[in-house]
Structure 1
Amino acid sequence: MMVWSLLLMSKTSQKERFLCCGSSKGERKERREFINKGFFFFFFFFFIQDLLLIVAFNIRVCLMYIPLMGFNNFMIYYWLSRYLESNWFIWVTQMNHIPMDIDYDKNKDWVSTQLHATCNVNQSLFNDWFTGHLNFQIEHHLFPTMPRHNYWKAAPLVKALCDKHGIEYKSKTLLTAFVDILQ
């Protein structure tokens, strides 16, 4: 049994190597088809999964709040919270992007482009809480998979690197960031 599974693994790795490293026209076509099918499968799978999670969440919220508040009060609460949440989200995410000048095709390296296109909002307990640690937008763009609560640890290191290479590291107050959106 073990020999069979090793043989199967060997065949699988040969097929993967063939799909990634094929050089003839037929091999490239098969590789493209394989990638397209995989992309479609994962897109469909995650789309269905997200759709089911959204439906389950909203059913659970309705079952929890409608008996307590009644349908009309629940609808007022639900849509008011969505309205406030969407406004908060737009202000928090756009205060670091809209005021920045973005140049196209300046042949800058990736790090310089990220530093030029975003800015931070000064750190404070309120700013960290209010923005969900997205006041460190520069670090968010440079390290997108880093947990947000660790951005403050990376900020001094990024700032020191910017100072070393003469790249501007932009940081402003929360009020200035909000005013910049309106200008």
Structure 2
Amino acid sequence: MTFVVFVQLIIIRFAIQRKKWMEFACIVFYNIRVCLMFVPLMGFKTFMAFYWLARFLESTWFLWVSQMNHIPMTIDYDKNLDWVSAQLAATCDVDQSLFNDWYTGHLNFQIEHHLFPTMPRHNYWKVAPLVKSLCAKHGIKYQCKPLLTAFADILHTLKESGEHWLDAYIHA
């Protein structure tokens, strides 16, 4: 929970440091509006509990959704890949299903998201077969995995990273 509060404070600090006054004003007015709407209904303590619980759940969801397509991928800066190949090497898709589309907000099509960043997310499934056929035609690997495999990959990658850091600290 402390991390969630920290991130919120970093966002506010960023807006102030970069003199993004409109963003800062939106953050302030949003929080004032939320407080004015819910504090009278549930009291301050209950509101704060629900507010930070929602932020915690939102942050956790975002971590899983955004990282399941990125963390397990091998990124090598020495290969001098073309842009499309680099995007395909750095990301992967998660199998399409009604649940996956809903849970990830269509970001289970991360390859398509990287290739077409301005395309509305609900259209990624339409271009996925075209991207797959283009990859097959040019011999580029198009990786797609089940949701639970993607989650397991996150845990394995984090475990591996943790072991590297632990080893570095033990032998430092």
Aligned residue number for residue 54 of structure 2: 81
Aligned residue number for residue 27 of structure 2: 54
Deviations 1:62-98 (A, max 9, x none): 0000000000000000000000100000010000000
Q: Does 1:121 align with 2:100?
A: no
TM-score for the superposition, normalised by structure 1: 0.74
Off by >4 Å, runs of 4+ in structure 1? none
TM-score for the superposition, normalised by structure 2: 0.79
TM-superposed CA distance for 1:53, in Å, is 0.9
Structure 1 portions without partners, runs of 5+: 1-42
* Backbone CA RMSD of aligned residues: 0.8
Q: For 2:117, which of 140, 144, 155 is the aligned residue?
A: 144
Aligned residue number for residue 98 of structure 1: 71
Q: Number of paired residues?
A: 139
Q: Distance in 2 between matches of 1:66 and 1:132?
A: 30
Larger of the two Rg values belongs to structure:
1
Deviations 1:35-55 (A, max 9, x none): xxxxxxxx64xx111111111
Q: Distance in 2 between matches of 1:153 and 1:50?
A: 34
Structure 2 portions without partners, runs of 5+: 1-17, 157-172
